[in-house]
Structure 1
């Protein structure tokens, strides 16, 4: 049987837990002014490619820059309606293939994202790629012809078996 004392104890426990959550969240909220996250897109890029770097943190709204050994220092531009800033950097044409860090400098604070993006040798690999010939090659025609022949033979065998089953 529940008593009013049990209800009071439960209410006090819930109030204490809520107070602890609010108390622990306050230092986190005050730290949001510092740069908190760095995102580089695309994460794999060729030499000479354009890299978009986004930095979270309201201290980056009033200016700042991003640096990396793979591209020149680039100024951040604030994105309206939030606490985010971004920059578009051009990767050096002589950058060595490999993973690179990005460091954001905002309002006297710095944040480094290790291995934020990777420079690759050559162009970006995407999709099927190119072809050196126009139209179908002899090999393509032979494979296509063999597939059509197999379909015709298979269909004929199926039709003949069904036809003999109907006679029985």
Structure 2
């Protein structure tokens, strides 16, 4: 009997391993994405819901609230893809956030994605005042310093040439 059981297990193994792949390609399964997955407060998040046969859907998260999903502009027919854009709240806490994506058709089927709100933006670096123009007084003072430096250099070179240094 043990040989029969072993043969049954071996015969069933290929079926068991291919069943999840068949389920993943099911036309009624939903798959949602949020990108980028790591964001800062105020950043834009692109949302996609695949496998939805409705014209609209919804996405929600504690990171950005509620957003309506719609078919892409250049999409023809009763689609399987919905898209949307969300902006991360300025008061969203740092860390992982679940994104709930729901299809308005297909009996309100729901799937989830995730984003991570990063703690802080880096320093906003600027030109450090290099963009603004200089006043006439600043220009005159700079020119006087340059002229003094050149004059001093010429004076030192003449003294060296005469041997007075």
Task: Output the TM-score relative to the length of structure 2.
Answer: 0.53
Structure 2: tracts of 5 or more residues without a match: 1-14, 131-165
Q: Are the counterparts in 2 of residues 69 and 100 from structure 1 also a CA contact under 8 Å?
A: yes
Distance 1:70 1:26, change over 3 A: closer
Counterparts of 1:95 and 1:26, CA distance in 2: 38
Q: How does 1:102-141 map to 2 (within 5 A)?
A: 102-106=99-103, 107=106, 108-113=108-113, 116-123=114-121
Moved over 4 A (4+): 24-29, 129-134
Task: Output the TM-score relative to the length of structure 1.
Answer: 0.52
Residue 26 of structure 1: CA displacement? 7.4
Q: What is the DSSP-based 3-state SS (H/G/I as helix, E as strand, rest coil) of the residue aligned with 1:64? A: strand
Q: What is the DSSP-based 3-state SS (H/G/I as helix, E as strand, rest coil) of the residue aligned with 1:33? A: coil
Q: What is the DSSP-based 3-state SS (H/G/I as helix, E as strand, rest coil) of the residue aligned with 1:103? A: strand
Match of 2:4? none
Counterparts of 2:115 and 2:38, CA distance in 1: 6
1:33 maps to 2:28: yes
Counterparts of 1:102 and 1:53, CA distance in 2: 9
Name the larger-Rg structure: 2
The alignment covers a number of residue pairs equal to 107
**Higher helix residue share:** 1
Distance 1:77 1:112, change over 3 A: same
